[in-house]
A and B are shown apart, each in its own frame.
Chain A
Amino acid sequence: MTRITKARLIAATPLIALLAACGDNSETEEVIENVASLDVPAEIAQRQDNFEGIGDSFKVIREQLEGDAPDMAAIQEAAGDINTRLQRLPDLFPEGTSVEAGFDTEALATIWEDREGFDEAIQNAVAASEEMMAVAASGDPAAVGEQVGNLGLNGCKACHDKFRVDDD
């Protein structure tokens, strides 16, 4: 979401319920028309499922670390799953599937404006997931804990901050 769009949405928020009820929000209508007139590419749902899977596996690792005796086999499996899923990402963002194009997605148009930066961010995440796989195989829970921070911040969050709809 661009700053301008965001500012407009902020300004509109107190009236949003009313506007939606009256069907008088031209911006909303435009977006609805856009989605209705275009076929929704399958990649949007695929990448969302894929991210859900990454999140679930990441939670498996973090949940194991909360206990006294982390199940290293489960952590290893989850780390491998994250790595596999991250490698699918480059194919799941076809041009023009941004939230700005009217799709039900949190993918910002900046992904395609800075495709190189986006691909680099994915590769950083892939690299972090490989480090996670390595420490998981080593069987050291403390090292896995450190990699949770690395993967979460340098892998997931770094990319979300730049290429996904603002979340706070």
Chain B
Amino acid sequence: MAHDTHAVSIWDLPVRLTHWALAVLVPAMWFTADSSLWWWHTRIGHVLLGLLIFRVIWGFVGTDTARFSNFVRGPARVIAYLRGNYDVKAHIGHSPLGALSVIAMLGVIAAQVGMGLFAGDPYDGATGPLNALVGVGTADWITDTHEWFVYVVAGMIGLHLAAIAIYVGVKKQSLVGPMVAGKGEAEEGVEGNSRASFARFAICAGAAIGVAAWVWFGAWPLG
């Protein structure tokens, strides 16, 4: 650990924007539901749907640290990391354990957003755009699950914040700084992240907005 470090780029702008949008909009979803602001709840839900779709596509065609193939690794890496046999400063991007947390976080939020699309009752308040695709009983079950699953989402956020606190307290490393500025410290010789391509970003964003809009308008011809 005696190596000198230098500032390198770690997170591209689309990853950071997606992250902070989730950080604001997921709590907003809880707030709007708790306050019966259904007009907002259903709209913000579609923004979240678009963000999730964007992040998944970006995970295949985005920059190095954004790609799933570069951070989702086998259990051997995770075990090595947990035993301390993984030099964080020698790598940029998600740690092996952090990678699992990213997948879990995205999965949990996607499950919650996905359930919301089918939730509700047309005779009783707001409904998701795909509510009519399932039967009354199924929609009712999905709605109930959607209601308690928020605690699973909150649990994931709690774990995420706890990990950040552990990094600051024990490892003396700020994870928040790079997620804001995009840059962090790495050992000499470790290269920074690749550059984001605007064309690829535009295609991913267009696809995400397109799918979210398609769902909003009832997912023709499914609906």
Contact = CB atoms under 8 A, between A and B. Distances in A.
A13 B135 contact: no
A13 B36 contact: no
B169 to A, nearest CB: 22
Contacts of A16: 28, 31
A55 B121 contact: yes
Contacts of B136: 59, 62-63, 66
Contacts of A106: 36
Interface in A146-161: 152-153, 156-157, 160
B75 interface: no
A93 interface: no
Contacts of B125: 160, 167
Contacts, number: 50
Interface in B1-57: 24, 27-28, 31-32, 35-40, 42
Interface string B193-220: 0000000000000000000000000000
23 contacts: A9-B35, A9-B37, A13-B32, A13-B37, A17-B24, A17-B31, A55-B124, A59-B121, A63-B137, A99-B36, A106-B36, A152-B122, A152-B123, A157-B123, A160-B124, A160-B125, A165-B36, A166-B38, A167-B39, A167-B125, A168-B39, A168-B42, A168-B126
Contacts of B147: none
Contact of B124 (A10, A20, A99, A156): A156
A118 interface: no
Interface in A42-67: 55, 58-59, 62-63, 66
Interface residues of B, number: 22
B137 A59 contact: yes
A164 to B, nearest CB: 8
A167 B137 contact: no
Contacts of B42: 168
Choose among B40, B124, B136 the residue with the greatest number of A CB atoms under 10 Å from its CB. Answer: B124
Interface in A109-168: 152-153, 156-157, 160, 165-168
Contacts of A59: 121, 136-137, 140
A168 B40 contact: no
A153 B123 CA distance: 7
A45 B38 CA distance: 21
A66 B135 contact: yes
A20 B31 contact: yes
A9 B32 CA distance: 10
Choose among A55, A59, A99 the residue with the greatest number of B CB atoms under 10 Å from its CB. Answer: A59
Given A16-B28, A66-B135, A166-B38, 8 more contacts: A9-B37, A10-B40, A17-B27, A17-B28, A59-B121, A160-B124, A168-B38, A168-B126
Shortest beta-carbon contacts, A-B, top 6: A167-B125, A152-B123, A62-B136, A167-B126, A167-B38, A63-B137
A51 to B, nearest CB: 8
Contacts of B38: 166-168
Nearest to A54: B124
A156 B32 CA distance: 23
B204 to A, nearest CB: 24
A156 B125 CA distance: 10
A73 to B, nearest CB: 18
